[in-house]
Amino acid sequence: MDKDTTVQLYRSMFANMRDGLAIVHLEAGEHALSPRLVEMNPAAREISGSQAESLDEGNLADYFPGLFDADLPQICARLAGTGGCADLGEVRAGARYFRIRIFELFNHYLGVAFLDVTEHKQAEVEIARLLEKGQKNASELETRVAERTEQLEEINRELDTFAYSVSHDLRAPLRAMQGFAELLLDKSHSETERAEYLKRILTSVHNMDRLIQDLLAYSRLSRQEIMLQTVSLDKVVRDAAQQLELASGGKNYQLEIAGKLPEVVGHHAVLVQVVLNLLTNAVKFVPKGVTPKLRIWWEPAADYCRLLVQDNGIGIAPQHQERIFKIFERLNGLDSYPGTGIGLAIVRKAVNRLGGRIGVESHEGEGSRFWVELPRADSGIPR
């Protein structure tokens, strides 16, 4: 190949390179200055953003503002003296990233290469982003698995207690029936005694029937699909009050419903059951000889409506206020206050399924105030 062809080939390569290339010269005795630009290819010109036609008197740092550090002259002087190449690291020019290298050519001439590493950089950023996302997802997944495990363990514990309590409470009336039936078989007892034993057996049958009915109502609540709707709390409370009148068998009590109650998100029949259970307890758990006085009203609470049912009954000590909502938890003897211990468990399950909350404020001997919070109808039906 002749010299002209070679020069032409190198020139063409220089001009067409995608990476920026510049040739600079370090004037003797001017080692403290940025090297003077002799030539650069179109890619380097584009990186510099310079509109200047000629490179006369221009120096490297001025053509590429912000891309070189102040120690550029020293680095160039060292390279011109000892030869070799220096890596100046990565810089950013607009939206692109370049790795800059300076290398010695000859006679105080140096080459400057601007290697485009934008794609690399973007890939690095993307990898970091994905890694971070992956780590976040993994830790979220771990938390969710841990929460789910905790929930399942809780359900298992509840199931164990439930199975134990059911068998324990169902066996009590059965044992009574067995005992009295054996006494009945003994012919030595008088007619009056035997009639009494039969009556006791019937009471046990009745108790067991109520237990089974309540258990069925409780388990139905877990399985039944509940369609949330806008419900008039006013109508719920009035229906429950009417049912209480029928169920109380003529027992004397006073009931005041304060003002008109609002609309909530819930389910009419389920809510009537909730209110009826609370009212039944309010009438039942009063000291002997005291007329039950019940009051129902509501208060707004953020997106919720808080329904309150207050009585003048025996009250509940603070340490028992959580456990009374669990199945079969009773604080009083069956003789003084009959019941199955399932009523409030039904209430809590129902309220939870409606997306609400329940609680009680009370002190022994000072009456109780049960509250139920339900989503207000004007805040929309939760999905």
Minimum CB distance to ligand ADP, residue 335 (Å): 12
Beta bridge partners, 36, equal 25, 59
What whole-number distance in Å separates Cα of residue 311 and Cα of residue 287? Answer: 12
Minimum CB distance to ligand ADP, residue 198 (Å): 25
Q: Is 340 in the site for ligand ADP (CB under 6 A)?
A: yes
- Binding ligand ADP (rule: CB under 6 A), the pick from 316, 354, 358, 372 is 316
Q: For CA atoms 151, 153, 159, 162, give the dihedral sign.
A: negative
What whole-number distance in Å separates Cα of residue 49 and Cα of residue 39? Answer: 15
State phi, psi for 99 to the nearest 5 degrees: -100, 125
Minimum CB distance to ligand ADP, residue 350 (Å): 12
Nearer to ligand ADP by C-beta: 311 or 373? 311
- Binding ligand ADP (rule: CB under 6 A), the pick from 343, 349, 374, 375 is 343
Interacting residues of 70 by C-beta distance below 8 A, sequence separation 6+: none
Minimum CB distance to ligand ADP, residue 224 (Å): 20
| Residue keyed to tokens 């485009």 | 116
Site for ligand ADP in 359-378 (CB under 6 A): 368
What whole-number distance in Å separates Cα of residue 26 and Cα of residue 83? Answer: 13
Q: Which helix (H) or strand (E) holds 115?
A: strand 109-116
Amino acid letter for position 90: E
List the x/- string, 272-311, binding to ligand ADP by CB under 6 A. Answer: ---------xx--x-------------------------x
Q: Is 332 in the site for ligand ADP (CB under 6 A)?
A: yes
Nearer to ligand ADP by C-beta: 72 or 324? 324
Nearer to ligand ADP by C-beta: 184 or 205? 205
Q: Is 44 in the site for ligand ADP (CB under 6 A)?
A: no
Q: Is 231 in the site for ligand ADP (CB under 6 A)?
A: no
Q: Which helix (H) or strand (E) holds 214?
A: helix 191-223
User: How many residues line the site for ligand ADP (CB under 6 A)?
Assistant: 20
Nearer to ligand ADP by C-beta: 267 or 330? 330
Amino acid letter for position 46: E
Is residue 15 helix, strand or coil?
helix
What whole-number distance in Å separates Cα of residue 317 and Cα of residue 334? Answer: 19
Binding footprint of ligand ADP on the chain (CB under 6 A): 281-282, 285, 311, 313-314, 316, 324, 329-332, 339-345, 368
